[in-house]
Amino acid sequence: MRMTTLALVVIGSSFAASGAEAQMMQQPLYWRLGGTPAITAVIDDFVGNVAADRRINRFFAHTDIARLKFYLVQQICAGTGGPCIYTGRDMRSVHAGMGIKTRHFNALVQDLGKSLNKFKVPPREQRELVAILAPMKKDIVTR
Ligand code: HEM
C-alpha cells in the first residue's frame, strides 16, 4: 500500500470510529466557538459588561474601546487556534502600572462568563477558554 493510500485509510477509519460529536471535539476551540463572528459578538457584549461594572470600569475610563475590542478578538482568535496573529502589545506591558488586583481580574472573568452564558457557549468550551486566559493572570495582576 502506498503511503498516501495508507494515510487516507487511517484518516477514513478515524472518522468512521468517531461520531459527529467526537469529530467536533477535535476541531480547534476557535471553530467550536463559532469563529470570528461569534467571538466578536461575545467580546462586544463582554466589553459592555465591563463598562457597566463598577468594580473595574474605572480602569477603562481613557481606553479606546474599539481598539480594545479589536485586539481582544484577535488575541482570542489566535489563542484558540484560529487563523489570526495577535499584533497587540504583550500582556505585561499593557497592564503595567495599573495596579490590577486578583479581585479585579476575577471580576473581569465573571463579566466574560456572563457573556459566554448569554451566547450559550457550552461549559466545555467556556472552561477551555478560561484555561487559555488564566495563565495571563501573572502578567496582568501586579499587586
Ligand atoms: C485574561 C484577562 C485579560 C486579557 C486577556 C486582557 C487583554 C487585553 C488586551 C488584548 C488589551 C489591548 C492590548 C493593546 O492595546 O495592545 C488590553 C488592554 C487593556 N486592559 Fe486588559 N486584559 C485582561 C485583563 C484585564 C484586567 C483585569 C483589567 C483591569 C481590571 C484590564 C485592563 C485593561 C485596560 C485598561 C486596557 C487598555 C490599555 C490602554 O489602552 O492603554 N485588563 N487588555
Contact 105, 137 (CB under 8 A): yes
CA gap 39, 133 in Å, rounded = 14
- Give, in degrees to the nearest 5, the angle at Cα 84 between 82 and 87: 145
pLDDT per residue over 21-69, tens digit each?
777 778 999 999 999 999 999 999 999 999 999 999 999 999 999 999 9
Contact 45, 119 (CB under 8 A): yes
For the chain, give the number of residues: 143
CA gap 8, 4 in Å, rounded = 6
CA gap 132, 142 in Å, rounded = 19
In ligand 1, which atom is closest to the CA atom of 72? 10
pLDDT per residue over 65-117, tens digit each?
999 999 999 999 999 999 999 999 999 999 999 999 999 999 999 999 999 99
> Model-level pTM?
0.88
pLDDT per residue over 117-138, tens digit each?
999 999 999 999 999 999 999 9
Q: Is 136 exposed, middle or buried (0-12, 13-18, 19+ CB in 10 A)?
A: middle
Report CA(21)–ligand 1 centroid distance (Å).
34
Mutate to test the pocket of ligand 1, among 68, 77, 133 (most ligand atoms within 8 A of CB): 68
Stronger pLDDT, 8 or 105, i.e. the higher one: 105
Q: Is the pLDDT of residue 7 over 60?
A: no
- Asked whether 80 lines ligand 1 (CB < 6 A), one says no
